[in-house]
Structure 1
Amino acid sequence: MKSKMLFQGYDDEFILTKKVSLPKLNHDQTADVVIDEDGSDVITYINYSLQLSSSHKFPFYTATNIDGLKFKKVPRKDNWRKDDRVAKDNQWGTELYNADKSNFDRGHMTKREDVQWGETIGIALNAADSTFYYTNAVPQHKDLNRDIWRSLEDYILHTEAKRNQLRICVFTGPVLSNANPYFVTPINNAQIQIPSLFWKVVVFEKEDGKLYRVGFMMSQNKLLINDNIIEQLESDDQIFMQFNDADTYQVNVSLIEEVSGLEIPEAIDSYTDKRATKLVLKEIDIDPDLESDSIGYELGFNIENILL
């Protein structure tokens, strides 16, 4: 008999004065969403939730509450496993991540440290451990997962949320598209498409009492090509061509909605432009030991023009 896991999941009333709902799936995504053993299409964990694609076996998005005031420092335990509440054939596991040519990481969509908070160390430890379900993972090139994307994630958590004791909501996901390239190694005699683009939206409240949101996007396309991990598809999709150099961009949330097919909760956009603004990382050598506010400076934004 399965042990019953009771997870509260994402709280849409986490920002106390405003409700921030989950992103909405479009018609095709709704038809493709995985239903768990309780009949729910939203899979809940500790301080975060997600909706999972049945055809891709990756999340459409994850939704995370971050409480900077209650953040706890706890040891990391890499305990990757499939979620017993979800049919195993709706989740990738070692069959993908240990396959030949799988030179990529199990990339957390909800970052381990982002949910690493609570009233006690025990709650924070359990929350961190709950991010090690394969339902929360998407293949990410190590240079993305451990460097460029991580710099952005660390900045949001350590410089903004933790230092300023903020309560924020973060939505993260891959772009699940038929334009995605194929992994060079078939899995169970099937060709698997690896997401090229990733996006993140941060929703927060300013001192004026209003909700704001800011979006980011990046590509791992060239990283995967250079390491012979993928077979590139010919595509006329100009959006994909904009994000083809393994850098991070600040973008309009409307662009994220366009490429992801999701409807992101309404808020005031902190950034609006018809172009994607590059957060310059390629021209500099980021030291992994840099303080997070130094990284924020290199990324081209800071606390004054993003979260305050």
Structure 2
Amino acid sequence: MNYSLSRFGAWAALGLLAAACSQTDVAPADVVNHLTLGNPSGAVASLASPTNYLLTKPQYSLSYNRNQGKPNWVAWHLDQADLGGAARQDDFRSDESLPSGWYQVTSSDYSGYGFDRGHNCPSADRTASEADNSATFLMSNMMPQAPQNNQQTWADLEEYCRSLVRSGNELYIICGSYGRGGTGSAGYYTTIAGGQVTVPSRCWKVVVVLPAGRDDLGRLTSSTRVIAVTTPNTIKVNPDWGGYRTSVDAIEKAAGLDLLSALPLSLQNTLEASIDKGPTN
């Protein structure tokens, strides 16, 4: 369902083509894979779209917001092939694939404010190779996240997602943040790094669960499990992520996005209106 980012709709088709052409290290198949369920904001790889700039990588796709120094959303596909034995690289660094002249957020920009460099696409979701894991440490994949949120609530949700994969499923995941102002271990901030990075008030994730197979889009039904979660970006967050489940519709309205837009409208409406009541561990 399209909300405040509907003005980007006219860009959507161009976005996939532009991304495939402008990101020479990424094949078009990678774009299709991660954005199979849709481009949530109609992001495009165009200098005319600095607050909704599409970056496509083999490991994930994202909409980058230059004015906020963080992604609007990051989307990726997760299956058993993504989970291997590669070690955590911990090589946080600027993303040099962003357009020349844009501020390059650095790892040290987060120092002293009491917020973690919170992954959108988690490190542990990309352990098939060192290169895959390293890609998750680009600062374009980070959001300022309260430590208790990142290390407890969010970490448990991420591990639950991987447990679903290990039990025979594949997932389509979209993660992001919205709002302005969060409370970390050093107090409340609306921005960090001299205003270059916005501290969000909420972190969110949508997970579409499918048994491993082919023709993923065609296999979605009204009974497909969709987990939608939104948490406050604060040190007082409850560690139980299951208590923060909501509907996709609610996240769309709050974040101004159009999630699962590639689905037939009737199916999209059904899945987006429901609130997951499945297990959490």
Shared fold (TM-score greater than 0.5)? yes
Question: Which of 206, 212, 229 pairs up with 1:216?
Answer: 229
Contact (CA 8 Å) 2:116, 2:144: kept in 1 or not? yes
- CA drift of 1:44 comes to 1.9
Say whether residues 1:12 and 2:32 are aligned partners.
Answer: yes
State the superposition RMSD in angstroms: 3.5
Other structure's SS at 2:204 match:
strand
- Equivalent residue letter for 1:58: K
3-state DSSP class of the match of 1:42? Answer: strand
Q: Which residue of 1 aligns with 2:72?
A: 60
Shift of 1:61: 0.2
Q: Which residue in 1 is equivalent to 2:7? A: none
Identify the structure with the greater helix proportion. 2
Counterpart of 2:89 in structure 1 is: 77
| Aligned residues of 1:108 and 1:137 also touching (Cα < 8 A) | yes
- C-alpha change, 1:88 and 1:125, in structure 2 (3 Å) is farther
Q: Residues 191-246 of structure 1, C-alpha deviation per residue, up to 9 Å, x if partnerless?
A: 8541120110112336993253321111123x2xx7xxxxxxxxxxxxxxxxx767
Q: CA shift at 1:112, angstroms?
A: 1.2
CA change 1:33–1:116 in 2 (3 A) is farther
Among 167, 171, 185, which residue is 2:170 paired with? 167
CA contact (8 A) 1:219 1:247 kept: no
Alignment partners' CA distance in 1, 2:274 and 2:102: 41
Residue type of the alignment partner of 1:264: L
Native 8 Å contact 1:61 1:173 kept in 2 = yes
**Is it true that 1:134 corresponds to 2:135 in the alignment?**
no
Residue identity over aligned pairs, in percent, reads 21
TM-score normalised by the chain length of structure 1: 0.64
Are positions 1:106 and 2:98 aligned together?
Answer: no
Partner of 2:189: 183
Tell me the TM-score normalised to structure 2 length: 0.70
Aligned residues: 233
Q: Which residue matches 1:92?
A: 105
| Cα distance change, pair 185–252 in 1 and its aligned pair in 2 (3 A) | closer
Helix, strand or coil: the match of 2:274? Answer: coil
Which among 182, 199, 203 is matched to residue 198 of structure 1? 203
Q: Gaps (5+ residues) in structure 1?
A: 36-40, 118-123, 227-243, 278-299
Shift of the alpha carbon at 1:88?
A: 6.3
What residue is the counterpart of 2:6 in the other structure? none
